[in-house]
């Protein structure tokens, strides 16, 4: 997958393309269906498969309100796109000027003259431009004028719910990572570089933790989780604590990962944390036995997690 900022940078130059366009936050099952469809249509007709998306996310630039935390950052989005093997991703810098552009100008310049679109595939609720004027109906009209067809793909339903970025966000924020997984088609994952923490884990508690320098925006509810910790491509069974470590009165949200039966120094390495299941809420331990109570609790969390890792349904 070539990643380009302008249609003319795609090599060799496009003669015809099957295109999908969207924000694709989460690259969830609904988006995956679009990506698969773009690839198969392109193959069938001898077109090139192109994904068009924006950075920053249009909402981030346009709304005064606080935007929701995004499920995927651009870098992760591109990695996920690549697994669906489009020929190119056109990553357009989203600007105020672009937001003001009449939909027809955008379609003509980018899709028609730029990408030579022959077939455009969009999600069931997709619309772009000022006042969402660039909707399915308008695109179909423009398709007649500029000689491309438009296909709107029905939403993916899982257990009677429409797969949507909003639903996934709600589930993850509620800690229900187990329910978010089928909608995403993968475990909800955050990544971070392992950095030195307070050094309490190993010395004080006997459970050393990798503390992550976080880059993501969306975090599961505070609490304790069974996770797969990926070091490069190796999945290691682990437990993670997301929270404020109330026993120690920390101020900022931390994600700490204790990898089971593991004693390597991994400072400076990147860890991907795949959330399997929430085990409990974070507790504040007080009194003279606070430390040993916390230790016992963590030992019991690990025992619960161990019984999960053998489950064939949660394999990485
Ligand atoms: N800290 C708390 O204050 N309350 C907890 O309930 C809690 N649960 C934890 C569960 C696990 C599996 C792990 C690895 C850590 C937990 N901690 C908890 C965090 C502990 O305070 C932390 O590891 C130390 O602060 C060392 O950095
Ligand atoms: Mg630590």
Res. 204 pLDDT band, cuts 50 70 90: confident
Ligand nearest to the CA of 242: 1
Distance from residue 298's CA to the centre of ligand 1 (Å): 7
Ligand 1 atom nearest to CA at 204: 26
Q: How many angstroms separate the CA atoms of 17 and 127, rounded? A: 20
Q: What is the C-alpha separation between 19 and 115, in angstroms, rounded?
A: 8
On average, the pLDDT of the chain sits at 94
What's the alpha-carbon Rg for the chain, to the nearest Å? 23
Joined together, the tokens standing for residue 177 give 């990572």
Give yes or no for a contact between 123 and 31, defined as CB atoms under 8 angstroms apart.
yes
pLDDT in tens, 72-81: 999 999 999 9
* CA dist., res. 152 & res. 143, Å (int): 13
Compute the average pLDDT of residues 266-283.
96
Asked if residues 83 and 89 have their Cβ atoms less than 8 Å apart, the reply is: no
**pLDDT (tens digit per residue) in 125-148:** 999 988 889 999 999 999 999 999
Write out pLDDT tens, residues 165-188. 999 999 999 999 999 999 999 999
pTM: 0.94
Secondary structure (3-state) at 119: strand
Closest ligand 1 atom to Cα of 247: 3
Neighbouring residues of 264: CB distance < 8 A, sequence distance ≥ 6 = none
Taking 70 as the threshold, does the pLDDT of residue 119 lie above it?
yes
Which residues does ligand 1 sit against, CB inside 6 Å?
197-198, 200-201, 207, 209, 224, 239, 241, 245-248, 256, 258, 282-284, 294, 298, 301
pLDDT band at residue 244 under the 50/70/90 scheme: confident
Angstrom distance (rounded) from CA 37 to CA 86: 10
Task: Note the pLDDT of residue 65.
Answer: 78
Q: What is the pLDDT of residue 208?
A: 92
Q: How far, in Å, from the CA of 200 to the mean position of ligand 2?
A: 6
CA of 260 to the centre of ligand 2 (A): 14
Sign of CA dihedral 165, 171, 175, 179: negative
Higher pLDDT, 200 or 181: 181
Contact 230, 271 (CB under 8 A): yes
Taking the centre of ligand 2 as the mean of its atom positions, its distance from the CA of residue 308, in whole angstroms, is 23
Mutate which of 255, 298, 306, 308 for ligand 1 pocket (most atoms within 8 A of beta carbon):
298
Lowest-pLDDT range, 56-60, 190-194, 208-212, 292-296?
A: 56-60
Mean pLDDT, residues 292-311 = 96
Percent of the chain scored above 90 by pLDDT? 85
Ligand 1 atom at minimum distance from 250 CA:
25
Q: Give the residue whose CA is nearest to atom 13 of ligand 1.
A: 241
Instruction: Determine the average pLDDT of the residues in 216-227.
Output: 97
**Ligand 1 atom with minimal separation from the 257 CA:** 14
């Amino acid at each position: 997958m070539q990643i380009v900022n302008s249609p003319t940078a795609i090599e060799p130059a496009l003669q015809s393309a099957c295109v999908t366009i969207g924000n694709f936050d989460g690259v969830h099952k609904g988006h995956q269906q679009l990506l698969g469809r773009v690839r198969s249509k392109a193959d069938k007709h001898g077109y090139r498969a192109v994904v068009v998306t924006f950075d920053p996310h249009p909402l981030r630039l346009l709304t005064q309100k606080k935007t929701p935390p995004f499920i995927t950052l651009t870098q992760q989005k591109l990695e996920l796109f690549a697994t669906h093997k489009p020929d190119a991703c056109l990553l357009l810098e989203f600007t105020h000027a672009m937001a003001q552009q009449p939909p027809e100008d955008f379609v003509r310049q980018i899709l028609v003259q730029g990408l030579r679109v022959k077939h455009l595939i969009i999600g069931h609720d997709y619309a772009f431009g000022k006042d969402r004027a660039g909707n399915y109906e308008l695109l179909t009209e423009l398709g007649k004028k500029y000689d491309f067809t438009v296909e709107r793909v029905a939403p993916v339903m899982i257990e009677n719910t429409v797969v949507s970025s909003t639903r996934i966000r709600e589930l993850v924020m509620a800690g229900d990572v187990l329910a978010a997984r089928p909608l995403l088609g993968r475990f909800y994952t955050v990544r971070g570089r392992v950095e030195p923490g307070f050094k309490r884990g190993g010395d004080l508690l006997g459970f050393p933790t990798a503390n992550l320098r976080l880059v993501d925006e969306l975090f599961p509810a505070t609490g304790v989780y069974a996770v797969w910790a990926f070091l490069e491509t190796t999945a290691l069974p682990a437990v993670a604590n997301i929270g404020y470590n109330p026993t120690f009165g920390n101020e900022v949200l931390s994600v700490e990962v204790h990898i089971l039966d593991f004693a390597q120094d991994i400072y400076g390495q990147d860890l991907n944390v795949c959330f399997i299941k929430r085990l409990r809420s974070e507790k504040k331990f007080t009194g003279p036995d606070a430390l040993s109570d916390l230790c016992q609790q963590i030992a019991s969390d690990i025992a619960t997690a161990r019984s999960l890792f053998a489950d064939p349904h949660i394999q990485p």
